[in-house]
Amino acid sequence: MSIIKEHDVVPFRNRVKEYAVKIGMSLLNQTKLITGASELVRNMLKYGGGGTVKIEVLSRTRDSGIRLTFEDKGPGIPDVKKAMLDGFTTGNSMGLGLPGTKRLMNEFDIQSEVGKGTTITIIKWKNG
């Protein structure tokens, strides 16, 4: 689904929650997933000027999970390593969004190219 304005954040979070409930994720992991998703969606709105999010349900042996792919066509991140450090921010925020989300998720992948945009993929397993 596409995220263009701040009003899209709440419906998006509810959608993620729906999927998480559907695969039977525990309340703790649900909250972690939703919080992480909400961090990235806010980043996308603030720095990337909006973009699209893909929600996918994954399954592997005896476990299932949710993969979210955030894609924007914004300015990109010049120094990804620096952006992943706690407390680094170019906006006026706490600088915890990216590193914090990484800690909340099972898998975290970031691809960013200056001038082209940023793609972040996160996976949260049901029992992870």
Does 100 sit near another protein (CB under 8 A)? yes
Residue 25 to residue 20: CA distance in whole angstroms: 5
By CB under 8 A, the residues from 9 to 28 that bind another protein are 9-10, 13, 27-28
Does 108 sit near another protein (CB under 8 A)? no
State the CB neighbour count (10 A cutoff) for residue 74: 20
Residue 40 to residue 122: CA distance in whole angstroms: 10
Binding mask 50-89 for another protein (x = CB under 8 A): ------------------------------------x---
List the structure tokens of 116. 């082209």
Q: Phi and psi at residue 6, in whole multiples of 5°? A: -65, -25
Rule CB under 8 A: which residues touch another protein? 6-7, 9-10, 13, 27-28, 30-32, 34-35, 38-39, 42, 86, 93-94, 96-97, 99-101, 103-104
